[in-house]
Amino acid sequence: MTARQLQAIARDHGTPVVVIDHDEIRRNFQEFRRHLPKVQPYYAVKANPAPEIVETLYREGSSFDVASLPEFLLVYRNIRRLSAKERQDFVWDKIVYANPIKPQKTLEALNKYKPLVTYDNLDELKKIQKYAPKAGVALRLRVPNTGSMVELSSKFGCDPGEALELILKAFKMELTVEGISFHVGSQCINDDNFVQALNIAAAVMDEARAHGHEIKILDIGGGFPAPYNAQVPTIDALARKLNAEIDRLFAPDLEILAEPGRYLVASAATLVASVIGRTHRDGKTGYYIDDSVYHTFSGMIFDHCQYPIKCFRNGKTEVCSVFGQTCDGLDTISQSEELPRLEIGDLVYAENIGAYSNASSTYFNGFPPAKVVHVNR
């Protein structure tokens, strides 16, 4: 989006406003497919659950990773609506329920769809057997998350040494273990996490095969990094390593899927906000804007992410602070932003803010979330 386009949208819709560019989403999806041609992307809906994004990615050929019943229904209803000419009674090739822990009511509701669901412990397996016996299951492994921005291995995944026992238990309970899955941690910039995880998964699949059970699906999870800054490695370098390991370790007919979330949508959104106040404290200028860490900047709290603030003015810059609009002292967006002198009413913006941002917005302090405008649909 150009500066002129962003300013025009802000004038038309008011601020704060999140502008989501669907051309960018399509470019990211196509780039993922080009670099990883053997891997089917299952968009991680939690990154940004806007129905418009689901629709765009569905039309591009994406499948979907969901982690709650509302997310499942959001995707399922869009698929059913968009594919009315090709009605189907199941969602097997379009949705994976990748949250290893599921409430009883969720399993009961999912059962009729014959979904593919993940598990990582015996108690979860027993729940699936009782409440969703029609489901196929995928065992989630605990793998290294070293260097990832959001570490997940302390919460999910069974130890590889327990994997065979959990696979054999599932078959004994008359459930079908369709796949093995793992997640290297969100915004993973350490390629070795993926390499080690692939080798761990291959070893578990070999053990299962030795006991007469062929695993048909490998879910390599998410973690594909978004280009927040120049230090983030590009996907082509990661893809070369992944493709080489996949070719070396697995049979050509293995179905491989991945769960990219932020990689597909982070760079597709820009926030435009207004300066609503100015002060001078602790030796520097401070600006207050009409958004906050409880709203579009929630990724700073929940996702360990930083979003540099930029403006449409030129001029000599100085180090300044940027605060959110709420009355909470936690609501500090930056203590060291380089900006020219701004006036109340000026517009500022933050790029690469499409993932885990407005999706986590609240109504804290009575302030509503930012408006969302979709362009190039």
**Can you give the C-alpha Rg of the chain in angstroms?**
22
- HSE (CB half, 13 Å, CA atoms) of 307? 32
**Residues whose CB is less than 8 angstroms from the CB of residue 66 and which lie 6 or more positions away in sequence, other chains included:** 45, 46, 72, 74, 75, 95, 96, 97, 98, 99
Please tell me the total number of residues recorded for the chain in this structure: 377
Residue 225 C-alpha from the chain's centroid: 10
First to last CA, the chain: 14
Q: Is 327 a catalytic site residue?
A: yes
Helices and strands, number each (H, E), in the chain: 11, 18
Nearest to 269 by CA among 87, 31, 19: 19
Q: Which token pair is 217? A: 């699906």
Asked if 49 contacts 74 with a C-beta cutoff of 8 angstroms, the reply is yes
Catalytic residue among 158, 305, 311, 327: 327
Q: Which residues pair with 176 in a beta bridge?
A: 136
Question: Which class for 87: exposed (0-12), middle (13-18), buried (19 or more C-beta within 10 A)?
Answer: exposed
Q: Please give the single-letter amino acid code of residue 329.
A: G
| Residues annotated catalytic, as ranges | 327
